[in-house]
Structure 1
Amino acid sequence: MEKDHSKIGFVGPKVSAILEESSDPAKLVLDAMQGFYPDKREVHSDLRVRRRGCCDLLKELKRISPQISPQVRQEATKLAADWKAKMTMASDNDLRVLGFLRLVTTYDLASIYDAKELKSLLSTVSQGKQAGEAADIGRALGIASPASPQTLLEPAELMLDWMQTEFSEYWTKADVCLEATSIKTCIFVLEKLMREVPHVTPPLKEDAMKLAFQWKAKMRADVENAWEILGFLHFIAAYELVYTLDIDEIVKLLGMISQNKEALEFCQTLPYADKIPGEFIHCLVERKQLMEAIEFICSFKLIKKFPPAPLLKEYVKEKMKCCRDDYTKEKINDGKVKVVDLYVTDLRAVINLIKDCNLESEYPSSKVEMEISELEKVKEKWCKVQLNNVDKEQKKGTKRRSSTPRSKFEPREQTSKSHRTVATAPTP
């Protein structure tokens, strides 16, 4: 095996085929890595070729993405720790760092190390001939290479640091809200961030999550504080935190913005304005909270992106189905009438929403009126049935009273008393 290690060279088609045909390519490559740090008798020129070949083998293994067993990953973890300890500032340290980073990404060991430390190591090999390699490793780690034409991670990091510093000054003062001017600046930067940063790395997202929880806990949730709420919603959208927070609470915050005319108009002028409520509208639709979704669609003027007609139609259809189901299950006539009343109230709320949001052209309220009319007919039928049942019960009660024997406490009739008196009168 050692003999083959010294002649690895750059990976070619034959080596790739061997890896793909191997029953355990991850173990095969890991065994080959043992020559990355040989004994001191190796000549320097041969060592660089060997290390270059090891890096290429690791890159090829990453490409085919084999299943890595826990045992092999444990061995790789020990090897990575050994390599990291041996890295120095020697002239050939670029290949040592490159090999270490390749080992970490290929065997999925990034979670073991600090993200900032990995980024620092990546920066040491991002110049000159290794720039392409560094960019490839950076993508695998979720870290932008400092040598890449557009360093995507830096703006997100800088923005987060700025917000943490800025907000801490406000939070040290009691009952002080963030000023509208500061929030507007924050929102403009977050808008730019959403355009330039397509993906936020997990470590950065974790740091942003901490600030989000802290911010939400200190934020006053009312209409007067709509500007700060707007900034908060932009923040969680920019750092991809929408689905990590309680949706009901976020929907409540959206409602606060929709009631503040100035903040709502400002939000609608932003390039990514639809991204903020749009994320939550999707959530509401998925959870069948269609009326709330339609209200936000109209408030944030997103009718073109989220046509309300299908949602209104689905809501009415679902209400009619639920009414039929509940109506069928209810055995008491009075209960059936109450079921109909309940769903008629829900459908009248739909008509009010259509009128308030000027949606007649999208979904005519006459369609809902027709459904209400059908329910009213059903209600009328069961009211008659209920009335007939009451009449029957009353007639039965009257009949029972007329056929009931006289109580012993009731007075005797007068005719019986007079008859008894005549019979007992003495003869003159």
Structure 2
Amino acid sequence: MAASEFSTGCYSSELIPPHIRATLRQLHCHSSLIASSARHYQEIEAHLDSAAATMDERRRELELKEKELEIARTAVERRSLELDAREEAFELVQKKEIANMRKHMEAEKESVERNLRELEEKEEELEMLGSYIEERGIVVREKELAVEAKEKEIERISIDLKSREGELEKNLGELRAKGEGFIEETESGIHDHNNPRSLRKSFEEQPKELEISRKEMETVATSLSNTISELQAKEKQLIKVRNLIAQYTVECELKEKQLCMADRVLQDKERDLGSVQQVLEERREELVGKEKILGYLRNCLAEQSNELDLRRNEMEKITKLLSVSSSELRSKEREIAEARNSITVCNAEYELKEKQLGMVVEKLQLKEKEMCSVQHRLEECGQELESKQNLLGSLLSILDLLREKVGAKEEELGSLQKSIDEQRNQKEAGTVDGALPCESNPDSPLKETSLPYLIDDEISTAIQQSPDPAKMILDQLKESMSQIDAKKYNQTVVRKCIVTLEQLLGVSGKVSPEMEEAATRLAIAWRGYLSQAAHGTVDVLAFLLFVAAFGVGSHFEAEDTLQLVEEIAHHERAPELCRSIGLAKWIPGLIQRLSEKNMHMEAIRFTLAFKLAEKFPPNLFLLDYLEKTRIFENGNDLLESQCQALNNHLDSLKVISQRVAGFGLDPSFLNQKISNHLQELETGVGRKRSCLIATGLVIQSPLHAGATLSGNILELGSWNQQGQSNKRPKKS
């Protein structure tokens, strides 16, 4: 603007011819048009950059939406398959349950019918037994009546016998009396021998009477013997009848006992029948409950099918939205293509303007030659011209000073860029020789500094000579932690804490329960401070060293401790601390989270430290890291940012090479990948340089970045060749 004002002011004299003045005005208009077109070009370029960024964001969003849609579709399909499998399994279980219930019910029914038939048979047997007992009772009663009749007859016969015995005794008495009388008569007849006729008569009458008596005696004896024999027969019959009665009574008692037992069995059967009926009722209730559950499950299946239909409708809506978004994306791409076409048109117009400007400059040179012919007319304005020239010299000197300042600023920018690249390389490459990355945090009690793990001779000697090093270190840490509220924690305190805890980890010995309790209280307070205040990785490292040294890791949740481990995952001692704290079984989940957070190098370190290479192959992590750092080239990006991106990608390749060498991995699997990336980067660098040369712009930072980029490519190419040469002897 100063030059234009100077030119207009310089040529505004009345001595300048009108056509030259018009040419200058036209030249000034062309320059303003060129400046405005340049500004318009820059605005269009910025707009295209923003449009490209928004398009990238929309594309990423669409990719995420597509992934989410695919995940949702797979989840819905998996859910539908699970529902189908559950329905089939439920139908099979239902059929089996119903079949089992039917079989069980049929078996129960058969058993009940069998029991009923047995009960009916038992009842029939009992009825037959009762009728038999009644018949036998009638027979027994008849026998008893017959026995009673026989007993009465025997009593009558015995009475007759007694009466006959009395008569017989009476007859015997009479016979004795008659015999005595006969004897007396005979004696008297002997004495009375004077009366022979009477004697003769008496003798004749006596045998007759004796014969009659004898006959009577014989009849009585026969009747008596008959009566006795009859009596004996009656007694025998009576004994037989009594024996039969006894047998009948025994049989009746047995039958009564059998009847009682049958009654008991019948009662038991009735109880069993009642229990069976109760079981049947319970089975019916269970069947009703199962039917209710079946209905509930069917309702649930219907609801889930409805939800599935809703999900499908949502998926259809999402697909429609995606189609709409894709159409919008295509329209945006068409707009971008149109914008690029307009940019090409603007570039053509700009080139045309430049050509016109060149022609104007040529005309101006011709006009200057013509001005030489009229120079004598300008002698009058020589003084004014000299003053203007002095002003121009001062402006040029100011411009030179500004250029020198700009050059110095560019040099400072280059050095600052180098330092930033070095810091980024150190950050990506992790800690080298046990160094910690520095993160400034004024609120943290442990300010992070890049401190080497140097062995303090005094601390080491004190720990080795102390009878109870754990107590000594715990007292020292309590004193150090007491400075948290006073904000007196400095770098020396951090170094002493870390070095002291490392020395304590190297000393073998048990921690007493009292010491462990005190350490637990201090660790809980320390963890609470870390949760409340902002902290850095050095604070976390010191805390985890304290937990591992005193063995108080069991007092904290593993998930909380793993979150702290993620913050120091770049540190070389992180796997050892996890092993000391007792987090070995949670390491696979930690590796998975590190991979999801694109912390691939840290994931490789934990994988190799815990020998999980089969589950988490390090090669896949390296390839993923290589793919994540790939450059998404955009022709509309600024040259400086593109060169910086190329340089960053080369730094990533250098980090991979350092990690492969540091982890002791075989670099052969990355040779082809790195070769492809080198070819892409070389073509990218050539394209950027050609763009720089074509534009004719002299920008120090991008060219410096391009030089650094070439150096990085050469260095990485030499490493790749070295890896291939190292691979050949292994094969041989």
Do these two structures clear the TM 0.5 threshold for a shared fold by scoring above it? no
Report which of the two has the higher share of helix: 2
Instruction: Output the TM-score relative to the length of structure 2.
Output: 0.23
Instruction: Output the TM-score relative to the length of structure 1.
Output: 0.37
Higher relative contact order (CA 8 A, sep 6+): 2
